Amino acid sequence: MVGKITANELKVKGISAIDEMVTDSDGVMITVRGVDKYILLPVEKYNELREMELDYAIKESRKEIEEGHYFSGSIEEHLKRTGNV
């Protein structure tokens, strides 16, 4: 669960406010004037999410290759084919 802290609390308490929230949760949502604006995550949690994102991208790429949705020509040929020349 992600804890919440206002921008004003962050301004007053500084990093100690974040440290308090992170020990009780997986991250901290910073609100600005009542609107959820930013999320701070511990580095370990960020790395875990990034790894999951990359694993998903690899899985999708393999699926595309298995289905024959790829181009094996040169860069120049690909740019001509896609109209980006």
Strands (E), the chain: 2-6, 27-32, 35-40
Identify the sign of the CA torsion 41, 42, 43, 48.
Answer: negative
Q: Output the CA angle 27-31-56, nearest 5 degrees.
A: 45
CA–CA distance, 7 with 41 (Å, rounded to integer): 16
Domains of the chain (ranges; CATH) run 2-41 (3.40.1620), 44-82 (no CATH)
**Rounded mean pLDDT of 55-81?**
93
pLDDT in tens, 47-61: 999 999 999 999 999
CB 39 within 8 A of CB 30: yes
Rounded to two decimals, the pTM is 0.62
